[in-house]
Amino acid sequence: MSRTVILVLVLCSLLFTVSKAHGGAYSADEAVIGRVRSHTVKKGESLMEIARRFDLGFNEIAEANPGLDPFVPGKGAKVVIPASWIVPDAAPADGIVINLSEMRLYYFVTSGDERLVITFPIGIGSEENDTPVGEFRLIQKIEDPSWHVPASIMKEKPELPRVVPPGPDNPLGSHAMRLSERDILIHGTNKPWGVGRKVSHGCIRLYPEDIPYLFERVPVGARVTIVRQPVKVGVKGGKVYIEAHRDQFENIDYFNEATGLLIKNNLLNGVNAQKLFQAIGERKGIPVDISK
């Protein structure tokens, strides 16, 4: 069997299994992955429900549709589905990259001579309990975890039991993976509407339908890189793209951030300044063509 046929079969298998978990598998050799699409709102739908259906976080769908009421967008309204991303500037050969600014996790894995990237939306720490940036390792995987309530949370909610057993009331969901520094977990959740929000005590949460897929495939010892990249740049089809996110936790000069990245990647001479200013001003969290 040829190498090309084997690769196609591997990709098809990954895409089929990921589709059931709502994630996306793409070639990691591409700087810009996925595609933007649209959805017509049905009666009674909210942006939160639509986001989960397309495996997006609340932040992503809200940024891409600033003119729509997230709770009552209205039957017949056209919703932008921002299922396209620029790969973060921290991609390892294998392992996880988490970009706090966009609230999204990327898992890079090698299959033969090919690198794939699988991506999921996440919820992260609040301003008071910010998720740390840095280089970590995955040191433990726990199926059906019990939640040992941290002392800081017990102070806030003394009515909680010290240990919450596995089940529907457990905020860790069905699976948890422990990182090497601080008591930070990547886990599921019993509150899926927190995906795409900064509401945790520092942990990283995935949709209940996403965490089993990631848990099964990421090995203990895997590298986990947590970054804060509100601006990303990349090239696709000879065109220069920029993706900018609103990160209220940081005092960011978006123009300097963008131009610095464009200079670093030798892309500035191919950029239309007006398109660049517009993309930075709107910050819709979608890759935007800023080529001349």
Of 134, 129, 124, the closest CA to residue 59 belongs to 124
Q: What residue spans of the chain are helical by DSSP H?
A: 3-21, 47-53, 58-64, 151-156, 211-217, 254-264, 273-282
Catalytic position from the list 12, 187, 201, 245: 187
Look up tokens 């890079």; give the residue.
108
DSSP 8-state code for residue 77 = -
Of 250, 265, 229, the closest CA to residue 100 belongs to 229
Catalytic position from the list 39, 148, 175, 203: 203
| 245 among known catalytic residues | no
Partners of 105 in beta bridges: 98, 120
Of 62, 82, 120, the closest CA to residue 248 belongs to 62
C-alpha separations of 68 from 71, 75, 259 in Å: 9, 11, 31
Angle subtended at Cα 258 by Cα 253 and Cα 263, rounded to the nearest 5 degrees: 130
| 12 among known catalytic residues | no
**What amino acid is encoded at 229 in this protein?**
Q
Report the interhelical angle of 254-264 vs 273-282 (nearest 10°).
130
Residues identified as active-site: 187, 203
